[in-house]
Amino acid sequence: MADGRTLRYYDESPGRVPPPDTRDLPVVEHGSVMRYDVLTGEWVTIAAHRMNRTFMPPADLCPLCPTRPGGEASEVPSDHYDVVVFDNRFPSFGPGSGPVPTEVDGDPLWPQRPATGTCEVVCFTSDHSAAFSELPVGRVRTVIEAWADRTTELSGREGVEQVFLFENRGVEIGVSLQHPHGQVFGYPYVTPRTAQLLTRSAAHRQRTGRDLFDDVLSSERRAGTRVVIDAEHWTAYVPAAARWPVEAHLVPHRAVPDMAALTDDERAELAVVYRDLLGRVERYFGPESTDPPYIAAWHQAPVHTGRDLTRVHLQLFSLRRAPGKLKYLAGSESGMAAWLNDASPERIAARLREVGP
């Protein structure tokens, strides 16, 4: 790209000759740092440069659309594409931007380090008005192949400890661009949620000798009351302790650490099942509730630790609790991390089964 970033095309047909990026862009710089919160044991990333990132431009100025002849150049210089992945112009994590003091205010109580890592944007289609659930199954498979490829490459980069794939959808979520897209983060540490999961899984294995995900999956399938989709290689279910008013997990039957380790058969079925599950969430509140906000979070095992204690799985959830009403993370959730859910997991599952194709 014109500023030194990398643009990758994932084409379904061979023969593309990518045109050059002729824009006049400054080199991307970021000053992100990570500061250690001694009260929680977690790293907090300070990315002040992102305050001025692009926010909700009109469709004809969308930077994720292909560049149209005679139009303003976008992030993708081609006039069409299938799936593209490129380095984020406003990354929270990126290459080192210079030395950073190892302590805040020179106080050893507050360790500090550069926020090195990666942030990439994945455009699922060149169609600005499309939704992921509307993509052909073949296109969903292309996205899965792109996810697997990015997981493989980023897992091999020095300093990357965990690769996270996700899609934020809907203005209520806080998306800054409405074009159908997701992101890939290469974190320089194991995230708090994954660290907690590894701790729980290790304790379960020590106590029982069994795999925690196997036991959860077997329990959900045996009960059946919260199962939404039961396929050959994947099961979608609402967790017994669901936190969100609409939530579902999609888990492979085999213990597989990340997208890159999935077999061809598992990827082929995932393309069908994942598309189906997204469509159910979109239809959950009926035709009067359009463009439902959701987060599709693909959890993967860390790169260097605990790869036998967890597996790749989807956590899909929506903030919407009723048409026109949101679930706000208020005092209990935000202040104390003590979750309260107004929706019964069994009722959530029944509704998701009801709105199936």
Q: Which residues are annotated as a binding site for Zn(2+)?
A: 62, 65, 128, 179
Binding site: residue ranges?
A: 62, 65, 128, 179
Supply the DSSP string of 115-143, one letter for each residue: -BSEEEEEE--S-TT--GGGS-HHHHHHH
Q: How far apart are CA 159 and CA 151, in angstroms?
A: 14
What tokens were used for 301?
């095992």
Q: How far apart are CA 10 and CA 105, in angstroms?
A: 46
Q: Which of 181, 204, 253, 313 is catalytic?
A: 181
Give, for 235, the enclosing helix (H) or strand (E). Answer: strand 234-237
Quick count: other Cβ atoms within 10 Å of Cβ 13?
6
- Nearest Cα to 301, choosing from 183, 162, 148, 151? 162
Catalytic-residue membership of 233: no
Which residues, at least 6 apart from 63, have a Cβ–Cβ distance to it below 8 Å?
54, 57, 74, 75, 177
Residues taking part in catalysis: 181
